Chain A
């Protein structure tokens, strides 16, 4: 099993550009989530989903959109990138439809906004 796969691993954008960070899992997990990790601040929840067709906001949702059309995929969209969105982004998944289960993380996407 591949587990949680994130693409791309690295990306550089200019301010105002848009892009989609991809996340896919092959463990049939219902719960998926996106975090950003900034130095000294741990991981902060951006958006999460408890199943296909269901998404909700986390701690820092502004500037990001998500959708969940299938159980396997949970893409994160930046509509108009800003330098403040420079960060490392992690996708995670867990079994069940609630968040109180062990999270399995992807390898992350390192994003720089110039």
Chain B
């Protein structure tokens, strides 16, 4: 939705390179920022999330950074592999109970 903007819409990288996907949000009260991976025809699956009291979180090859002042957060994937190819969605909470998702980034990792 318009409350969360996601860029780029498509991203093509060579295997082993890094990939970065960026999202901006509009509600300064947002406090939870998950990232989901969706393979073709499958359900979205949570890969990493971050809360507003933390600036960065890492899980093996995946990291998320949050800049509350600028109201943007980013997903970083290092040493990309062909199995990382999928659509990635960011999301942010609006108030306590509503999620707004970005429009998605189609990542293609070329072997």
- Chain B minimum-CB-distance residue to A49: B97
Bound complex: CA A108 to CA B41 (Å): 9
Known contacts A43-B89, A59-B1, A102 near B46 by CB under 8 Å = yes
Distance (whole angstroms) from the CB of B43 to the closest CB of chain A: 4
Distance (whole angstroms) from the CB of B13 to the closest CB of chain A: 21
Bound complex: CA A103 to CA B98 (Å): 11
From DSSP, what is the main secondary structure of chain B's interface residues? Answer: strand
Bound complex: CA A72 to CA B97 (Å): 18
- Chain A minimum-CB-distance residue to B6: A42
> B101 on the interface (CB 8 Å rule)?
yes
Query: Using Cβ atoms and an 8 Å threshold, which residues of chain B touch A58?
Result: 98
Interface size of A by CB at 8 A reads: 26
The answer to whether B96 and A42 touch across the interface, beta carbons within 8 angstroms, is no
Known contacts A90-B43, A106-B43, A99 near B101 by CB under 8 Å = no
Distance (whole angstroms) from the CB of B77 to the closest CB of chain A: 19
Query: Using Cβ atoms and an 8 Å threshold, which residues of chain B touch A102?
Result: 34, 46, 49
Query: Using Cβ atoms and an 8 Å threshold, which residues of chain A touch B46?
Result: 102-104
Bound complex: CA A107 to CA B44 (Å): 9
Bound complex: CA A102 to CA B34 (Å): 7
Known contacts A45-B99, A108-B43, A103 near B34 by CB under 8 Å = yes
**Within residues 89 to 108 of chain B, which ones have a CB less than 8 A from any CB in chain A?**
89, 91, 93, 96-104
0 or 1 for each of B14-47: is its CB under 8 Å from A? (1 = yes) = 0000000000000000011010000000111110
Which 6 A-B pairs give the minimum distances between C-beta atoms?
A100-B32, A42-B101, A99-B97, A105-B43, A98-B96, A43-B101
